[in-house]
Chain A
Amino acid sequence: MSSSEEKKAGFLAIELDGAGYENLATAVLAAESAGFHAATFTDGRVPGRANALQRAAFAGPVTRNIAVVPEVDTVYTEPFHISTQLASLDYVSGGRAGWIVTAAESPEAAAAVGRSSVEGAALAHEAAASIEVGRRLWDSWEDDAVIRDVATGRYIDVDKLHYVDFETPSDFPGPGYSVKGPSIIPRPLQGQLPVLAAASLVGEGLVPADAVDAVLVSAPTPELLAGEVRDVRARLGASVAIVVELDVVLDARGEAAASRSGSAEETGRARFIGSAAALTDLLDSLLQESDGVRLHPAVLDVELDELSRAVLPELRRRGSLRAPIQDGTFRDLLGLGPAENRFATTATGAGK
Chain B
Amino acid sequence: MTRDIFQPSGQIQFGIFFQGVNSGTIWKAPESGSQTDFESFRRLVQTAERGKFAAFFLGEGLRLREHLGRPHALDVVGRPDAQTMLAALAAVTTNIGLVATQNATYNDPADLAHRLSSLDLISGGRAAWNIVTTDNAWTGANFRRGGYLDHADRYRHAEAFVETAKRIWDSWETPSGPARRVLHEGQHYTVDVTPLLPRSAQYRPVLFQAGDSPEGRDFAARQADVIFSAHPKFDNAVEFRRDIVARSVAAGRGANAVQIMPASEFILAATDQEAQDKKDWVRSLQIGPQQAIAYLEQFWGRELSSYDPDGPLPEIDPVVEETSETRGSGFHGAKARQLADQWRAEAKDKGLSIRQFVTSKTARVDATFTGSYTAVADHLAEYARVGAVDGFNISPWLVPTGLDDIVNHLVPELQERGVYPTEYRGTTLRENLGLETPVRSEEPARVR
Q: Using CB atoms and an 8 Å cutoff, list the residues of chain A in contact with chain B.
A: 21, 24-25, 45-51, 53-55, 57-62, 76-81, 84-85, 87-89, 91-94, 108, 111-114, 141, 146, 148, 150, 152-158, 161, 175, 177-186
Contact = CB atoms under 8 A, between A and B. Distances in A.
Interface string B330-341: 000000000000
Contacts of B38: 60-61, 91-92, 94
Nearest to A60: B88
B92 A61 contact: yes
Contacts of B84: 53-54, 57, 85, 88-89, 92
Say what secondary structure dominates the interface of chain A. mixed
Given A48-B197, A48-B198, A113-B108, A55 B122 contact: yes
Nearest to B60: A184
- Best-surrounded residue of B75, B78, B107, B194 (most CB of chain A within 10 A): B78
B122 A21 contact: yes
Nearest to B293: A153
17 contacts: A25-B91, A49-B197, A54-B84, A57-B88, A77-B111, A84-B81, A91-B85, A92-B84, A112-B191, A113-B111, A153-B291, A154-B74, A156-B78, A161-B64, A177-B143, A182-B64, A182-B71
B216 interface: no
B142 interface: yes
Contacts of A24: 122
Interface string B70-86: 11011111111101110
Given A60-B91, A61-B91, A112 B77 contact: no
A177 B144 contact: yes
B288 interface: yes
B400 to A, nearest CB: 14
B116 to A, nearest CB: 9
Interface string B260-273: 00000000000000
B440 interface: no
Nearest to A182: B64
B91 A155 contact: no
Nearest to B178: A47
A140 to B, nearest CB: 9
A168 B28 CA distance: 41
Given A113-B189, A155-B73, A59 B91 contact: yes
Contacts of B32: 148
A21 B189 contact: no
Contact of A88 (B73, B77, B80, B191): B80
A88 B85 contact: yes
Q: Please name the 4 residue pairs, one residue from A and one from B, whose CB atoms are nearest each other, closest first.
A: A153-B290, A114-B190, A92-B88, A88-B80
Nearest to B115: A51
Nearest to A178: B141
A234 B88 CA distance: 40
Contact of A156 (B71, B83, B89, B291): B71
Contacts of B441: none
A54 B81 contact: no
A186 B121 contact: no
B251 interface: no
A146 B33 CA distance: 12
Contact of A78 (B70, B141, B143): B143
Given A25-B91, A113-B189, 15 more contacts: A45-B196, A49-B197, A57-B88, A58-B87, A58-B91, A60-B91, A77-B111, A88-B85, A156-B73, A179-B141, A182-B64, A184-B21, A184-B61, A184-B64, A185-B78
- Best-surrounded residue of A59, A85, A155 (most CB of chain B within 10 A): A155
B244 to A, nearest CB: 31
Given A51-B115, A54-B83, A62-B91, A78 B196 contact: no
Nearest to B74: A153
A56 to B, nearest CB: 8
Contacts of A112: 108, 110-111, 191-193
A308 to B, nearest CB: 22
B307 to A, nearest CB: 15
Given A58-B88, A141-B78, A157-B73, A185 B36 contact: yes
A61 B142 CA distance: 30
B111 A21 contact: no
Contacts, number: 179
A81 B106 CA distance: 9
B37 interface: yes
A91 B143 contact: no
Contacts of A180: 63, 141-142
Interface residues of B, number: 63
A77 B114 CA distance: 12
B351 interface: no
Given A61-B91, A161-B71, A91 B80 contact: yes
Given A21-B122, A50-B122, A179 B142 contact: yes
B177 interface: yes
A32 B288 CA distance: 48
Given A153-B288, A158-B71, A184-B61, A61 B118 contact: no
B137 to A, nearest CB: 11
A141 B198 CA distance: 39
Contacts of B114: 51
Contacts of A157: 73
- Best-surrounded residue of A51, A59, A178 (most CB of chain B within 10 A): A51
B262 to A, nearest CB: 26
A78 B144 contact: yes
B154 interface: no
A161 B61 CA distance: 17
B36 A186 contact: yes
Contacts of A79: 144
A111 B6 CA distance: 43
A8 B38 CA distance: 35
Contacts of B110: 112-113
Given A112-B193, A113-B110, A156-B73, A184 B79 contact: yes
Nearest to A77: B111
Given A88-B84, A92-B84, A153-B290, A184 B63 contact: yes
A88 B61 CA distance: 14
Interface in B29-75: 32, 36-38, 42, 61-64, 70-71, 73-75
Contacts of A108: 193-194
Contacts of B190: 111, 114
B85 A57 contact: yes
A349 to B, nearest CB: 26
B289 interface: yes
B219 interface: no
B168 to A, nearest CB: 9
A80 B143 CA distance: 7
B27 interface: yes
B31 to A, nearest CB: 13
Contacts of B63: 180, 184
A15 B193 CA distance: 27
Interface string B232-249: 000000000000000000
Contacts of A45: 196
